[in-house]
A and B are shown apart, each in its own frame.
Chain A
Amino acid sequence: MPKRATESHAVPPTLFDKIWDFHVVGRRADGRELIYIDRHVLHELHAHHGFTHLEKQRRAVRRPDLTFAVQDHTVATKPGRNDDTNPSGAAFLKATRECTRRNGIRLFDLGDPEQGISHVVAPELGIVLPGATHAVPDSHASTVGGLGALAFGCGTTEMTHILATQVMALKRPKRLRARLDGRLGAHVSAKDVALRLIAELGVAGARGYAVEYAGSAIAAMPIEQRMTLCNLNIEMGGRSGFVAPDDTTFAWLAGRPYAPKGAMWDQALASWRTLVSDDDAKFDREVTLDCSALEPQITWGTDPSQVVGISGRVPDPAVIDSSRRAAAESAYAYMGLTPGTPLAGLPIDRVFIGSCTNSRLPDLEVAAAVVRGRRAAPNVIAMVVPGSSTVKREAEAAGLDRVFRDAGFFWGESGCSMCAGGNGDRGAPGERCVSTTNRNFENRQGPKVRTHLASPATAAACAIAGRIADVRQVLAAAS
């Protein structure tokens, strides 16, 4: 990493410091640092707002070549979909198509073989790279931290600011290192680790921090799981979250369409190998979690910190911190649960496997391995929605769509779908849904829908069992 005059590190830098310092363009009079954004990805819910605003001010998009756009939040998942399949999305899709065309921005549109959720598409095409900065007008931007990129979610006005300037005006976050050690047990994945960490730290536990995920559990994780972990960083309030890139990262990226090639790849690789926190780097805060005894996790309440192990029970208010008790009381009521009830065994109505958290090919492989040769319980509507059209194609080439269809699952076209229901895919009031998404907020998956967040393996097992179930027991019972 080249040194700049402003960067005299009296203390050894963390990975965050290295990426941040390299990207400091200047300092505004108001004290904010201007951070260059290497890759900016828009989506249809915000794009038209930004372009309309710029056009009113007669300002141009500064770097259309570093800007991309996707259609993901409002797209229908029905086979044969078009703009109007989800009537409430049509205006957004058309407006985004128009304004990206006018501004010369590559759009992964409906029908494009590489359309999908921004946080899935950008890494799988190699648009995002280790050590690069990345912004998306969506809070789960840090998903791509799994590749060692420093990503920031932003609002619409900030997005417009980036379009015009290619920089973000930011206050430097503090640095937190989350050390996750130990070997994960069978059928335990990054989703379970993340849910446990959020439960330990709380939904605001990482607020104001850029989080570096490190430790032996991370080193052993494939890239897709690292992305799941970084995706959920915002659910504990983190400003950004990432994993230092390593050989697993470089092997994963090599040959991706937008990744550097030839001599530039070699040069990039040499630079990426320096993307580690120095041995004696100082973090503002360190937390640790031993993952070796972790069982599959599931949420019982209405925020992502209300988590128990799959063998656990809805917690008694007496064991809940007094500051969190009112939230728990309202969660019991919304979720239709009484303290002391075991999670396992609760009858469910729906299973959703998808979203930027858990919709990449390995997620679907894990779910398919549980489902193969079995059928979803008759009381359950089960859906699988791949995170991108690329994932969908690859899954179909591997025959996963058949596995799911044969088991009675809906196999959809790629998009956000039931994660936030912006495309019309929603549950009915009162339904209990096991979902691989990231937010179990009230009404998110439909008015009065009761969402339990879990891993793809757990979600698949629940679909088969027709109730909340431990994937390890579902598989053991069958063999």
Chain B
Amino acid sequence: MMQPFTRHTAIAAPLVQDDVNTDQIAPILHSRGLKEDYRAMLFYRARRRDDGSDNPDFVLNKPQFRNAGILVTGQNFGAGSSRESAVWCMLANDIRVIVARSFADIFRENCLQNGLLPIVLAPADADAFTARVIAADGAAPFTADLVSQRISGPGGGDVAFDIAAADRMRLLEGLDDIGLTLKHIDEIVTWERRAAAVQPWLQTARDGR
């Protein structure tokens, strides 16, 4: 069951790039098992140079951002594959907030499923906020508060953000999604009966040979 989200205070790291995809966030690595090291997986390739040593230029490798818990980025974050490991490896690194211009649909849903807050700022706010994060350079933390729907931190006033009421509720309450849906079990059964009557081929999937 997911951890509820109310507020999160942490260093914010700027990854100023559009279309960061899940292959970059959580690359499929060569040696894999059922228990993956999600902490090591996050941006595995970007974090390394060709010879395997640390890439000092990658933002999360910079000393001031090593413990970043908020990521600030561009458009269409989380594009590509549906792999949920892209969210799990954020959480394994204590990153619980991503501020982006926009998110890919499946990635955003995976965030909501796991208590990671996806914040989209209006373009003007996003520019200003990114500039503040760059200026802060890891010296002081920012706070994302889901109750008041505000981000605060060095370099300016609070920034309000929008989030759908339903998404906000899911995050705040850390609800058991399966449990929520199973409250509707009667409706599910009713639907199945009706479908079996009017489109019976949908309710049977049998090898007819």
| Residues of chain A whose beta carbon lies under 8 Å from any beta carbon of chain B | 2, 22, 25-26, 28-32, 34, 36, 38-39, 45-46, 48, 57, 59, 62, 65-66, 68, 88, 91-92, 95, 125, 127, 129, 131-132, 137-139, 153-158, 160-161, 164-167, 169, 171, 203-204, 207-208, 237, 239, 257-261, 264, 267-268, 271, 303, 323-324, 326-327, 420-422, 424, 439, 441-444, 447-448
Contacts and interface: CB of A to CB of B under 8 A. Distances in A.
A326 B208 CA distance: 54
A442 B185 CA distance: 44
Given A271-B199, A443-B23, A26 B105 contact: no
Nearest to B85: A156
A160 B202 contact: no
Interface string B185-196: 101100110110
Contacts of A66: 203, 205
A167 B188 contact: yes
Contacts of A132: 202
Nearest to B30: A88
A139 B192 CA distance: 27
A337 to B, nearest CB: 19
A447 B45 contact: yes
Report the 7 A-B pairs with minimum CB-CB distance, sorted nearest first: A30-B166, A26-B187, A204-B76, A155-B84, A157-B113, A31-B166, A155-B110
Contacts of B32: 88, 91-92
A48 B32 CA distance: 14
Given A158-B113, A260-B201, A139 B24 contact: no
Nearest to A23: B191
A38 B181 CA distance: 17
Contact of B34 (A92, A166, A237, A448): A92
Contacts of B205: 38-39, 65-66, 68, 127, 258
B188 A323 contact: no
Given A26-B184, A36-B191, A441-B24, A257 B106 contact: no
Interface in B157-206: 164-167, 169-170, 177-178, 180-185, 187-188, 191-192, 194-195, 198-206
Given A91-B34, A165-B188, A268-B201, A421 B28 contact: yes
A139 B182 contact: no
B198 to A, nearest CB: 5
B76 A164 contact: no
22 contacts: A25-B184, A31-B165, A36-B191, A38-B202, A39-B205, A65-B204, A66-B203, A91-B33, A125-B207, A131-B199, A139-B106, A154-B82, A155-B83, A169-B181, A204-B76, A204-B79, A207-B76, A237-B79, A237-B105, A268-B201, A327-B18, A422-B28
B82, B165, B187: which has the most chain A beta carbons within 10 Å? B82
B74 to A, nearest CB: 9
B80 interface: yes
Given A157-B113, A323-B18, A444-B23, 16 more contacts: A28-B166, A30-B169, A30-B180, A31-B165, A36-B188, A38-B205, A91-B32, A139-B82, A154-B109, A155-B113, A167-B181, A171-B164, A207-B105, A237-B76, A326-B18, A447-B45
